[in-house]
Every structure is written in C-alpha cells, then in structure tokens.
Amino acid sequence: MESMGAVLNRSEVPFPTGDGQVLEETRQPERAEPENRVTVGEPFVDDPRMTCRDVNVYYGDKHAIRNVSIDVGRNEVLAMIGPSGCGKSTFLRCLNRMNDTVDTCRVSGVIFLDRLNIYDKSVDVVPLRAQVGMVFQKPNPFPKSIYDNVAYGPKIHGLASSRSELDEVVERSLKKAGLWSEVSDRLDQPGTGLSGGQQQRLCIARAIAVRPEVILMDEPCSALDPIATATVENLIAELQEQYTIVIVTHNMQQAARVSQRTAYFHLGDLIEVGSTDRIFTNPRHRLTEDYITGRFG
C-alpha cells in the first residue's frame, strides 16, 4: 500500500539527534520532588514514529505547554494522563497541527513524523491530518450517510479510482473499526442515527479510511457507556498492530488496559514518561505518584 507520506513534501530540516536534550538516566534523580520540572523516566525510544523536541505552546500570553520532549514509538499505544487543564489536548493537537485552527495559538519546537518536520512551511496540513488522524471526545459524524462518512476522505484524497474500489475501502474500514456487521444492511442511513458507541466506531472507521499512520484520540470513550467503552478499547488493541496510537484519557484503568507507555502532564509540564506498568506501580516523580494514588486532580 502506498503511503500518504509520498504526497507530502519532505523537509530538508535536519533530523533532531536529541544531542544535549537526551535525559540520561544518570542525570536523573532517583525520586523527583514537585519542584523538579525536568521530565523524568524514559521519554525517548529507539524506533520513534513521532519525535517531539522542546515543544512550547502559547494561547496569547498563556504558556500552555512548556519544553515538552517526547517520542511516540512505532505501533505503540501512548497514553497521556494528567489533571484537567494540564495541556493534554493542547499537546495532542500539536501532533497533527490541529492547533493551527486556533487563532491565538502559537507552537514552537520541532515535531517529526518519521523524517518529516510537520511544522515545515512546505507541509500541507490536509494530507498531514489524514496521515495523523484524530478521533474526538464527542463522536462527530458528518451529517451524511454511514457510507459517505467513511467514503468522504478517500474521495477527497483520491484514494479510490472507482465506485467498486470505494465500496471496498468503506467495507474494509468499517470491518477494522468493528462496525461492519452492525451497519452493513443500512449504509445509506444517516451516521448520526447510530448509538454513541457506534458513532465513535464510525469516526474511527472514517479516520482509518484515509490510511493514517498515527491515530490521535482525545478521551474517545468519555461519552460512551461501559459496554461501548470495552468495544472501543478492544478495537484499540487490534488497531495497534497496524497503527501508532496516542490516547488522552482521564480514566487511569483505561490507560493501564490499553497503553504500553504513559506520559503524565501537570500544569503544562511533561513530568514523567515510562512503561505503563512502571508508571502505575513505581512512579519516580512525586507529582505522578500523587495523581495516580488520587491525592491530586
């Protein structure tokens, strides 16, 4: 399958080596106290899909994200957790330049998708947002049929050359999203007529249909009941085989169930990153510990 990356202009900006920014184990305190705001743990991986260095985000004068450096590993699920207002959604939106749509918002630092500097002036955000797709908190199907919700992206990105190819993309995407058996006999009906959990899977199918490499999910289950949540969580585990997923969640059990790495944010700082198992059993930063034990947030 040809990657959507082929249609993006590759940037000439040098790939960040991390020199001078790598947080060596030896320089890190065994236990970090609240005043320490240098990320502790393991923010970097050997084979990153996305590489973020020194990312700062401002809304006007408000400094919402401070000096965040982190990698997103290939085919991993990275969970981002932290108290309300700490900047999880803001940082997530940096990963596909969704913040470009906010007038007051300014982003500095570098973010690479593989070797593409996504903030390079030559990058067209339309294919970028297909490559790095997004699923929002509230399911937001288009006011179109189930079929057209999924077919829309492939059509505008020219990913299907005939009606039968489009039919195949729609069927394959709905199958991957675990929705096909529930909707195959009513593809012409409005997407908005589905249940909340079905709508969310429809939005996931819509994201998948344009062959993304990374899928960003901002609290994708918070509007769903426990059964629909379980369905989406199982789906995340299956999608991981093919995609890289970054998920913001308020639900720590969910982070523990679906992710391999977890990043803890606090008031705009990335406090700690590590394997999900370690973060939940042996956090190294006091602020992480306070949050996961329910003393904060």
Ligand X SMILES: Nc1ncnc2c1ncn2[C@@H]1O[C@H](COP(=O)(O)OP(=O)(O)OP(=O)(O)O)[C@@H](O)[C@H]1O
Q: Which is nearer to Mg ion, 89 or 259 (CB)?
A: 89
Q: Residue 17 burial by CB count (10 A; 0-12/13-18/19+): exposed, middle or buried?
A: exposed
Question: Which does residue 178 touch among ligand X, Mg ion, none (CB within 5 to 8 A, set by kind)?
Answer: none
CA angle 56, 83, 77 (to 5 degrees): 75
- Told to check if 249 binds Mg ion by CB under 5 A, we report no
- Told to check if 249 binds ligand X by CB under 6 A, we report no
- Told to check if 139 binds ligand X by CB under 6 A, we report no
CB of 220 to ligand X, least distance (A): 13
Q: Which is nearer to ligand X, 64 or 239 (CB)?
A: 64
CB of 190 to Mg ion, least distance (A): 28
Q: How many residues bind ligand X (CB under 6 A)?
A: 13
**What is the number of the residue whose Cβ is closest to Mg ion?**
89
Q: Residue 185 burial by CB count (10 A; 0-12/13-18/19+): exposed, middle or buried?
A: exposed
- Told to check if 282 binds ligand X by CB under 6 A, we report no
CB of 271 to Mg ion, least distance (A): 17
- Told to check if 271 binds ligand X by CB under 6 A, we report no
| Beta-bridge partners for 263 | 80, 273
- Told to check if 237 binds ligand X by CB under 6 A, we report no
**Window of 22-30, 77-85, 115-123, 229-237 that interacts with ligand X by CB under 6 A:** 77-85
Give CA–CA dist 271/212, Å, rounded.
29
- Told to check if 90 binds ligand X by CB under 6 A, we report yes
- Told to check if 11 binds ligand X by CB under 6 A, we report no
**Window of 67-75, 79-87, 108-116, 224-232 that interacts with ligand X by CB under 6 A:** 79-87
Q: What are phi and psi of 166, to 5 degrees?
A: -65, -40
- Told to check if 89 binds ligand X by CB under 6 A, we report yes
**Window of 20-28, 81-89, 156-164, 168-176 that interacts with ligand X by CB under 6 A:** 81-89
Give CA–CA dist 70/264, Å, rounded.
11
Amino acid at 138: K
Q: Which is nearer to ligand X, 211 or 285 (CB)?
A: 285
33 to 72: interface string for ligand X, x by CB under 6 A: --------------------------x--x-x--------
Residues 6 or more apart whose Cβ sits within 8 Å of residue 245: 76, 77, 78, 214, 215, 216, 217, 236, 239
- Told to check if 89 binds Mg ion by CB under 5 A, we report yes
Residues at the interface with Mg ion (CB under 5 A):
89
Residues at the interface with ligand X (CB under 6 A):
59, 62, 64, 82, 84-90, 102, 104
